[in-house]
Structure 1
């Protein structure tokens, strides 16, 4: 049988049989970004026909608020002659199209803008190319190659999909969680060798037997790289995602397929795999790089402080036939029982900036 005839699950099983169990981080990386079979390489997961719906697809006003946020920072930085806006995982380009429709109303912004997108999915790149054509987008795979102008980074539901490692406490020792095979099926297990605890800090010192330490090393490394890129030139990072404010024990791995929870081991490459974001760890990485960390706020607080309610009210008055749809979208984006509280807005910026939405709670 040729490799092209094998599923990603077959390839992973062959790797396990050949080299032994693999870490969760390795498994997630293969499932999501395998060059020819990875979930984010081969499918359009967004929308009703996909596996999940993100905030930009719920209402244009989500992106518009982020556009106002970008524009405010641009003015705070003195309206520089050049500014780079980078979006990580821009999906169909919806968020950025809505954001730039607002931001480009600010004098000088259009001429200064250098739009950069980090995307691995060929089909989504074509959608982005079409939707963002007016803004001259460019695609990058290397943050180190960005131009030296001030940099604003937008990452909506991006860090939750980066691979994590998990360690389980057993009799005062930590063991890494791995994926192996039992009776021909993929199963979770533990490495037989105790982990030395290099990545574990005080947050896990009092963990109980059986508790899990979930370490997003890839997210930390990316945040530090972004921070070191922004620090000497000025700018900010805005991350909106679901997660927790303080590092803590807990296992949050989940798989989503067709808007339903799924077995994360069942069909590699066919379901979205995510974990909750550890915002304290991201903040620590950004602080090491020289950035200022602003108080974490809920998505609901962030959006309403930027004027989301007024924007929905204005749209309802000019589009009365869509008033109920707009009311439903507002509640979904800001409601405490929906995305408003579960999702958090995180910001790290160069010192001296006061990003909108983060000045106070």
Structure 2
């Protein structure tokens, strides 16, 4: 039994059944505070860790929008949940080549991951919450696999699903057609949308999910690069759910922002020039040509990450639509 499971069981005994939202929040807070989950030795691998091409094309998209917006001098680069800082490092390199050298702001709560980010981007500024970001200039925001990790609520027949102890095991108290909501996700989208409307700028959101609101159980756990039961090993595996992109668009528009997309990740990267970039890298390092092509395929092919992951943008009304969307 994990240390967190013992704590959760005691919480259930003293406070009663635990909501799925509270369970997911407790598990992910513990999980990210106690490890670096990325890479082959971890539990999962994100697109920036697969290839530099991903971060480079994100950086190119941000630099292009910034240039078409008039090259504002006080723009800032913001990343929500920046992992090891790999995406930022690759994106900022491309932005610098386009004449954009913005101050860097990270929204990150894990001290373990902050240490890795500091090694990659030493001069970044860290924040606990989106609301703590600076308020005196346009924001160029990236949220790659950030929204999927925010806690969700599940309802069956209009009643919130909870976690109980049954026959000595953690179990859900009801089954049936599940409807998911996420006040935490709504709040994050609203906060960034309101800041973009007030300050200018654009946010690129890259995540997996569904384009239309629909019922269904999308809560899942990943450990050692495979799916595992959600209620097993609390705090020792990553819990996520599919992002409802229709809901993201509704929240953004309610805040007065412009919503673009979603587009599938593969076609989006192809429109931004990943094929040409892969050829350049392979020509510069022929011994790595197969590795580079394998990474490109993993990012773009429909049967890998190309269709599952979507890209969308939230923009200030006066800012241009980003390339590829």
TM range (shorter): over 0.9
* 1:210 shift after superposition: 2.8
User: 1:186, 1:139 → 2: CA distance?
Assistant: 36
User: 1:282, 1:299 → 2: CA distance?
Assistant: 17
* 1:6 shift after superposition: 7.9
What are the equivalent positions in structure 2 for 1:1-361 lying under 5 Å apart?
A: 7-33=3-29, 38-107=30-99, 109-110=100-101, 113-133=102-122, 136-147=123-134, 148-169=136-157, 174-190=158-174, 210-352=176-318, 353-358=320-325
* 1:354 shift after superposition: 1.7
* 1:146 shift after superposition: 2.2
User: 2:132, 2:28 → 1: CA distance?
Assistant: 24
Q: Confirm or deny: 8 A CA contact 1:24 1:164 kept in the other structure.
A: yes
Instruction: Sort the Cα spacing of 1:181 and 1:280 in 2 relative to 1 into closer, same or farther, 3 A.
Output: same
The C-alpha deviation readout for 1:220-261, integer Å capped at 9, x for no partner, is 111011111110211111111110001001111111111121
Q: Confirm or deny: 8 A CA contact 2:221 2:240 kept in the other structure.
A: yes
Provide TM-score, normalisation by structure 1. 0.87
* 1:26 shift after superposition: 0.5
User: 2:239, 2:2 → 1: CA distance?
Assistant: 21
User: 1:145, 1:175 → 2: CA distance?
Assistant: 34
Identify the residue that residue 203 of structure 1 maps to in structure 2. none
User: 1:137, 1:322 → 2: CA distance?
Assistant: 32
Q: Confirm or deny: 8 A CA contact 1:216 1:278 kept in the other structure.
A: no
User: 1:67, 1:221 → 2: CA distance?
Assistant: 26
The C-alpha deviation readout for 1:18-72, integer Å capped at 9, x for no partner, is 1110110000000011xxxx00111110000000010011100000000101101
Identify the residue that residue 199 of structure 1 maps to in structure 2. none
* 1:123 shift after superposition: 2.1
User: 1:318, 1:85 → 2: CA distance?
Assistant: 29
Q: Give the aligned length.
A: 323
In our comparison, the structure showing a higher alpha carbon Rg is 1
Q: Confirm or deny: 8 A CA contact 2:2 2:235 kept in the other structure.
A: no
Runs of 5+ unmatched residues, structure 1: 191-208
> How much is the aligned-residue C-alpha RMSD, in angstroms?
1.4
Q: Which has the higher contact order (CA 8 A, sep 6+)?
A: 2
Q: Confirm or deny: 8 A CA contact 2:61 2:322 kept in the other structure.
A: yes
User: 1:220, 1:237 → 2: CA distance?
Assistant: 15
User: 1:341, 1:328 → 2: CA distance?
Assistant: 16
Q: Confirm or deny: 8 A CA contact 2:179 2:215 kept in the other structure.
A: yes
Runs of 5+ unmatched residues, structure 2: none
* 1:144 shift after superposition: 2.7
Provide TM-score, normalisation by structure 2. 0.97
